[in-house]
Amino acid sequence: MRYFTKQQGQKEAVPVDLESQGQGRYRLTLNGKTFQVDALSLEHGSLSLLVDGQSYNIEFEENGDEIGTLVRGQVNRTDVADERRLRMRAAAGGFTVEGRQVILAPMPGKVVKVLVKVGDEVTEGQGLVVVEAMKMENELKSPKAGKVTEVFAKEGTPVENNAKLVVVE
């Protein structure tokens, strides 16, 4: 999965490719360099990472698309978006989303919470489903105001990449 990250002070977003190797192992490519990462979830939502033999304990704080990390006593704030979200941001000023919108799982994970039910009226940007992937919770939001017509997501169940979660019309 490709993400784009932009830390405070950076002019442009940097692509980051992340590929699951199974059992908490990932291949991460950043600035043309590939790293092998072993991830282990710790208490209180923090992670223990082994990156090419170097150990890191990381604490996270999410605020929308911005993620705050505490690594070795240093706090970093990073804006993170996948390719779809980046395109949506770029296009947001030019048009609004219309018609039937199917919200898909952005990566394999587990449904932690379903925030809506069939028949609910939602606003643009309202949270619909929370999916945990790579030990992080991601709230998937409605791309438009409308009515929830279908809910496929069930709390506690695993989902594959691009699995249908919710439909908003």
pLDDT of residue 82: 79
Q: Quote the CA–CA distance of 120 and 168 in Å, as a whole number.
A: 9
**Residues 101, 112 contacting (CB under 8 angstroms):** no
DSSP codes joined into one string, 116-164 = --TT-EE-TT-EEEEEEETTEEEEEE-SSSEEEEEE---TT-EE-TT-E
Q: Which residues pair with 166 in a beta bridge?
A: 103, 151
Average pLDDT, the chain: 85
- Mean pLDDT for 2-30 is 86
Query: Is pLDDT above 50 for 80?
Result: yes
- Mean pLDDT for 81-85 is 78
Least confident of 71-75, 99-103, 145-149: 71-75
Question: CATH number of the domain at 2-82, please?
Answer: 3.30.700.30
Backbone φ/ψ region at 92: left (φ over 0), alpha (ψ -120 to 50), beta: alpha
Q: Is 166 exposed, middle or buried (0-12, 13-18, 19+ CB in 10 A)?
A: buried
Q: Quote the CA–CA distance of 134 and 151 in Å, as a whole number.
A: 23
CA geometry: angle at 122 spanning 169 and 94, to 5°? 70
Q: Quote the CA–CA distance of 112 and 90 in Å, as a whole number.
A: 29
pLDDT of residue 26: 92
Tell me which of 108 and 116 has the higher pLDDT.
Answer: 116
pLDDT tens per residue, range 118-158: 999 999 889 999 988 777 888 888 888 999 999 999 999 99
CATH architecture, domain defined by 97-168: Beta Barrel (2.40)
pLDDT of residue 97: 60
pLDDT of residue 95: 46
User: Domain spans of the chain?
Assistant: 2-82, 97-168
- Mean pLDDT for 19-35 is 91
pLDDT of residue 1: 85
pLDDT of residue 90: 67
Residue type, 1: M
Q: How confident is residue 96, by pLDDT bands cut at 50, 70 and 90?
A: low
